[in-house]
Structures are given as structure tokens and as C-alpha cells.
Amino acid sequence: MNIRTGIATVATVLLLAGQAAAQPRTVAVTFDDLPYQASAAELCDADTLAALTDGFIAMLKPLDARATLFINRGKVCAAQADRMRGLLTGWLAGGFVLGNHTANHPNIHRMTVEAWLADVEAGDIGGPASAPKYFRHPYLFTGETPEKKAAMAAGLAERGYTVAPVTIDNNDWMFAAVYRKADLAGDGALKRRIGEAYVKHMADVLDHYEPYSAELTGGREPAQVLLLHANHLNRDWYPQIHALYLKRGYRFVSLEEALRDPVYALPETYVKANGVSWLHRWTVSAGRPIRWEPDPPDWIVKAYEAK
Ligand SMILES: [Zn+2]
């Protein structure tokens, strides 16, 4: 190789490396269990319901008004049904996309598909006819037998739903349960420790999923769908999760845009009594072994199990 060709080759390699580094990461953020992860009594009290939801939306809206909110409308008592309708209208007007997460968050492993689909219908949140109707499975359970899985999928399709898969699954709910206990105990120092451990865990989870997801798409990281929940933990700490994603080069996109990534058309034949990331489902469906994401730290798991 002469010097001129050598310089040209080095320049080409640098250019390609630059393009690889600039490859934009994208993520659609989804929050489940709206209006809020709280007790039935709290959600039935008009002032508490308003305070919980207003606080959460006030945190989220300046950061990511493209987030999709998955609602369990049956969690709000009949006395607050009008207020619930008002909340849904307000969130839609604020630009959020709303999805159905069933009315009452039932566990399909303990019921028939017919009863489960009745709860899906009771959870319908309406919305503009032109917009996609998104559905998120409670616990990410999609059916523990091939027959149930097929009947659930057919029932959702018949009702016009687009399933919203999750790629970045992360156990935020476990941190949230421990955080809730610390909150009730008035232990601010413990809340901070839990919040900091949560942000660290979410970085560890990305360290795992980013290269793992790229194995499905020829080395390119696909558009991710992040699953989080509406609760005190994320009200207080989501801004730091958002900052973590920005620091890693993510652009925040709508669920509709994320689902256009070809990864979401991969075959998905996972059948098990377990709610897992679609990255695992596609990996198994491609005949490869799952590599699980990191668990929360032991002290969080122990504190959760001690409840
Ligand atoms: Zn849920």
C-alpha cells in the first residue's frame, strides 16, 4: 500500500467509525398502571387522585410529552368515573398517547381468555378513531399455552388493538414498592439510596440490552420501547432516567415511530407463564438462548420480599 492509499484508507475508516458513533439511538417511553400505582382508597378520593396524577404529569410533560400512558381504568372507583374521563381527555389534549392496559390488571394465568377479553373491553379508553389503539399486556403475560396465546392475540386483533411490546424491561416496580415503604415510613435518606440504586440499575440494564438487542438486527441497535410505571419512584426519579438516556445518545420518539423498526416484525413464538422482554422472545424464537438482564441489587430484592 502506498502512502496516498494508506491515508485514504485511514480516512475512510475514521469516517465509518464516525458514522457508527453518530448512529442515533431511539427510545419510546411507556408508563403503565395509570392513573397511578396507589391504594384503592387513594384512587377513590378525588383530591388524592388529582394530586397524584397532576404531580406525575407535571414531572413528565416537560421531559417527554410523546410518552404513551397505559391505563387501568377499572382501578378508579365508580364515584370518580367522571373525573377519570376528565383526566383521560386532559392527557390526550396534552399530546400524550393513551393505551389500554385492561380495566383491572387481571392475571391471564388464573382465568379464561373470554373473561380476560371482557376486561380488555371494559378497559377501552376510546380516543380518536384515526389513531392506533394500543394495548399493553398486564405483567407482560401473553398466554402460558399456545392455545391461550393464539386466542388472546386473535381477540386483541379483532378489537382493533396494536400490541405494544417492551424491549427495556427492568423491574422498576420492585424499586417502586420498596420506595413506597420508605415514603410511608418518612425515611428520606432511604428514599435517596433507593433512587440512586434505581438509576444505577437502569444504566446496568442498558449495558446489557444494547448489545443484546443488536444481535437481532445485524449489529444495529433497534428502536427500544422502555417500560416504566406511574408511581412515586418515577415521579421523583424519572428525570434522572431521562437524563441517563440523553447522555447515552438516545432520541425520544413516539411509540408509533419506534414500532416501525423492522425488529417488531420478527417472529415471536415464546410460550411460558412468564412476562419477559420481547428481546428475549425474539431471541428464543430465533433458536438462540436467552441472556437475562441484571436483577436489582440484593438489598432491594430482600427489602421487597420482606413486605
Ligand atoms: Zn401493569
Return the pLDDT at 243: 98
- Cα(303) to centroid(ligand 1), Å: 21
- Cα(31) to centroid(ligand 1), Å: 9
Q: Which CATH superfamily is domain 25-305 in?
A: Glycoside hydrolase/deacetylase (3.20.20.370)
Return the pLDDT at 186: 98
For residues 87 and 54, the answer to whether their CB atoms sit within 8 Å is no
- Cα(228) to centroid(ligand 1), Å: 9
- Cα(4) to centroid(ligand 1), Å: 60
Instruction: Tell me the pLDDT tens digit for each residue of 23-57.
Output: 689 999 999 999 999 999 999 999 999 999 999 99
Assess whether pLDDT exceeds 50 at residue 291: yes
**Is the alpha carbon torsion for 86, 72, 115, 118 positive or negative?**
positive
How crowded is residue 85: how many other Cβ atoms within 10 Å of its Cβ? 14
- Cα(274) to centroid(ligand 1), Å: 14
- Cα(105) to centroid(ligand 1), Å: 6
pTM here is 0.92
Return the pLDDT at 307: 67
Q: Which helix or strand (DSSP H or E) is residue 204 part of?
A: helix 188-214
Assess whether pLDDT exceeds 50 at residue 19: no
- Cα(164) to centroid(ligand 1), Å: 12
Instruction: Tell me the pLDDT tens digit for each residue of 165-181.
Output: 999 999 999 999 999 99
Mean pLDDT in residue range 267-291: 97
Return the pLDDT at 128: 78
129 pLDDT band, cuts 50/70/90, is: confident
Cis ω for the linkage preceding 138 (within 30 of 0): no
Instruction: Tell me the pLDDT tens digit for each residue of 187-221.
Output: 999 999 999 999 999 999 999 999 999 999 999 99
What are the grid coordinates assigned to 22, written together?
A: 453518530
- Which residue ranges make up each domain of the chain? 25-305
- Cα(32) to centroid(ligand 1), Å: 5
- Cα(147) to centroid(ligand 1), Å: 23
Higher pLDDT, 4 or 220: 220
- Cα(247) to centroid(ligand 1), Å: 28
- Cα(33) to centroid(ligand 1), Å: 5
DSSP alpha helix (H) spans, 215-269: 232-247, 255-258
